[in-house]
Amino acid sequence: MPSNKIIGLVLLLAGIAIAFWGYQMSGSVGSQLGSALSGSPTDAVMYRYAGGGVLAAVGALLVFRK
C-alpha cells in the first residue's frame, strides 16, 4: 500500500473522529444552553465539524484517487 494511501486513511479516520467529537460536544449541557440562548451551535462544535469534514474529504481524496 503506497504511503499516500496510508496517510489518506489516517486523515479520513481522524476527520471522522473529530466530527464525531463535535457531535458529542453538541449534546453537552453547556453547548445546549449556549445553543438555546444564541440559536446556533457553539464555535467549538462548529470548528470540529468543519475541521473533521475537511480532514475526511482530503483523506478520502487521497485514499480513493487512482
Q: What is the pLDDT of residue 64?
A: 92
C-alpha cell at 10: 489516517
Residue 13 pLDDT greater than 70, yes or no: yes
Q: List, for residues 16-63, the tens digit of each pLDDT value.
A: 999 999 999 888 888 888 778 887 778 888 999 999 999 999 999 999
pTM: 0.82
Residue 5 pLDDT greater than 80, yes or no: yes
Residue 34's H or E segment, with its range, is helix 29-38
Cα-based torsion angle of the residue sequence 18, 24, 29, 35 in order, rounded to the nearest 10 degrees: 70
